[in-house]
Amino acid sequence: MNKNNASFLPFLLKNTGKYTIFLISVLIGMLVGIFILFPLHEIAIFYDKGMMLKESLTEYLYIRVADIFQGRVSLIIIEFWTIIGAFLGILFYYISKTINKNSQMIRRLSTELEKSFPVLLAQGESSILEFKSSFRWDYQTNKINKNLENVIVKTIAAFLNSDGGTLLIGVNDNNKVLGLENDYNSLKKPGRDGFEQAIISSISAKMGSTVCGSILTMFHSLENKDVCRIIAMPSPRPVYVKDGTLTKFYIRTGCSTRELNLKEAVDYISMRWNN
């Protein structure tokens, strides 16, 4: 099999159902235009003419619908109601698609919120769960290291570009809670509010403020130590990270965050978000 055909096959299989639903929506809309909207318009005409017509409403509608099949209705009128119906079908398709995505997002978020903090700690790191010791405090050098902020942002971006996930800040790789006290003390506004503001500011600066709609930040306390829990939902569009003059793209692979090169990113984006 040709390599290009082989790579196109998964895309075709993935999108066949979606295009079929779209075409069915258009077809149903066209039928609605002809057999519902057109008769409704004729009802309005019937009552507008009032006593001028000898037929009853039922007889009048039957005649007008029969005229369609017998070719006595202007082609322009048929095309008009067909187009109106098709447009409504397309509109219904996209509204339903948006509602379905939002419903999935709500269900996914509800599932994540139902997970208790101790349960998350016990699970350990995975493709949808990551632990980070701090946001900007370097435990090896015992001082502020702003480069650590980039690690947090990359991890969140990877979750957004993949299947979503949860990031716990204040927990090391051995599931030990370190807390956020050092991070708090490094901020102009210490405490949870200042920490959350710093996180959101860093995310907005490097990924754009629009991604914040796919992120939920909350805090837990264990043994008087705070841990920040960031839930990142799958993004409806690709998320890029600004790194100096460069723009980078990250995904989750197993328990790690991986940067894709240009070709890999183009292929991944095409398969995941191509509509």
Say which CATH number the domain at 169 has. Answer: 3.30.950.30
If asked whether residues 57 and 157 sit together in one domain, one would say no
pLDDT tens per residue, range 157-209: 999 999 888 999 999 988 899 999 999 998 888 889 999 999 999 999 999 98
If asked whether residues 134 and 216 sit together in one domain, one would say yes
pLDDT tens per residue, range 53-70: 677 778 878 888 888 888
Query: In Å, how far from its chain's centre is CA 9?
Result: 24
Listed residues 75, 99, 123: the one ending a domain = 99
Domain boundaries, position 70:
3-99
Q: What is the pLDDT of residue 141?
A: 92
If asked whether residues 135 and 227 sit together in one domain, one would say yes
Domain tally for the chain?
2
If asked whether residues 34 and 140 sit together in one domain, one would say no
Residue 146 clears pLDDT 90, i.e. is over it? no
Residue 256 lies in a domain: yes
pLDDT tens per residue, range 102-129: 666 666 666 666 667 777 888 888 888 9
Residue 105 lies in a domain: no
Helix axes 147-161, 192-207, angle to 10 degrees: 70
If asked whether residues 82 and 180 sit together in one domain, one would say no
What long-range pairs does 201-207 form, CB within 8 A, spacing at least 24?
202/149, 202/152, 202/153, 203/153, 203/156, 205/242, 206/150, 206/153, 206/241, 206/242, 206/243, 207/153, 207/156, 207/157, 207/160, 207/239, 207/240, 207/241, 207/242
Residues 6+ apart with CB under 8 A from 39: 61, 64, 65
- Percentage, residues of the chain above pLDDT 90: 35
- Rounded mean pLDDT, 239-264: 91
Of all helices (H) and strands (E), which one includes residue 248? strand 246-248
pTM: 0.65
Nearest to 153 by CA among 221, 264, 76, 250: 250
